[in-house]
Amino acid sequence: MEVLRTLATILFIIVCIVLTVLVLMQEGKSAGLGALSGNAETYWGKNKGRSMEGTLVKVTKYLAIAFMVLAAILNINRF
């Protein structure tokens, strides 16, 4: 059982590092002054789900879920 806990801890650390890097790689959500004139909706904005930024957002969501699940698993007390 201790081996599984060690593997879960190592996986948790890897997920934490990758999640931090992915969050730092993402662009900000503010569109700047272009949003005031209505120019914020461009081709790249409409197809964001298929772009690199869209991929980063999806991977970040899955890693955040893995982070929460691993944190809950590692927090279970041994009796």
Query: Can you tell me the mean pLDDT for 18-36?
Result: 76
pLDDT of residue 35: 53
d(CA 18, CA 60): 9
pLDDT at 6 over 70: yes
pLDDT at 41 over 90: no
d(CA 1, CA 22): 31
Alpha helices in the chain (DSSP H): 2-25, 43-46, 52-75
Query: Can you tell me the mean pLDDT for 49-78?
Result: 89
d(CA 20, CA 15): 8
Q: Which residues lie closer than 8 Å to 71 by C-beta, 6 or more apart?
A: 12
Considering the entire predicted model, what is its pTM? 0.70
